[in-house]
Chain A
């Protein structure tokens, strides 16, 4: 898909702004709201030990427990919005971590294979690759009607290739591109980082998504 220079800049700006905003909210939840709630939680635990009345002790204990659950929810929400592993550990660990959540949410097992040594890529590139993989997996959960899928990462000198495959229902790619903006967004996202995304599918046989990114 060819994108005109001005349109490419606007698309790039919108996607980048959206990612920056998601990251800001995730950080604010984790480092701001989450930390404040943790201070309140430890305060409640202190009150619980200081209170003598059994009824009040139980009440404060329940509140502390609820607070603990809320802290966990906030932490999970922040991780879902922007996986911290992406910036600290890299694409492969972030994908592994996401796949655990994916399997436990949709019941679809994903076989992840990696070949070659992961090299450092920019944060913009890694978040783009992560989002494209996320979109591909979301499409599998929504439309493929399959129990399993596979992801194969290949780090070659000068190029990273990612192949996402399922043996599900498959679909008409042309019709799908007209109907779903998600497919077009995957291709456009890859174009914006000078990469490629090729979607091929056969009805009744499954879908393959080949992503490639030049490495410098």
Chain B
């Protein structure tokens, strides 16, 4: 069973939160991925600033892709100047390819203390994501955590 995102009200709340992060951080893309409730796979459920609808179809396995890696390690992940100098192949970063992102920073979102989701901010061009933006993303993830944990 996939995570359904709770009630319509909750979905709207998360959508708003993604839009808020997009505006506040002056980035090009904000996405929220969540691990399915009965399996290890991870799906992108919410996005703001998306250039297409590909994210809705993308599912990565636990430990694969940015979302899968962040959930499996429970630690933030930073990708700079994609696809140069990335660990592994560019094809192992589906969301970066789908949204043509150059820089991204992904933070884990915990449910009852266990990493179950990922908040990703991305930029398609320009300067890398600095520490200030990373810190704001971490704070936004904590806020989302509170909302999702109800």
* Chain A interface residues toward B at CB < 8 A: 69, 72-73, 76, 103-109, 138, 141-142, 145, 147
Contacts and interface: CB of A to CB of B under 8 A. Distances in A.
A145 B53 CA distance: 12
A73 B94 contact: no
A107 B40 contact: no
B97 A104 contact: no
Nearest to A106: B94
Contacts of A141: 91, 94, 97
Interface size class on chain B is 10 to 19
B127 interface: no
Contact of A104 (B55, B58, B91, B100): B58
B62 A106 contact: no
Interface of B: 40, 52-63, 90-91, 94, 97-98, 100
B66 to A, nearest CB: 13
B53 A104 contact: no
Contacts of A103: 57
Contacts of B60: 105
A155 to B, nearest CB: 30
Contact of B54 (A72, A106, A138): A106
A145 B101 CA distance: 12
A107 B54 contact: yes
A73 to B, nearest CB: 7
A142 B61 CA distance: 19
B54 A73 contact: no
Nearest to A138: B91
B56 A107 contact: yes
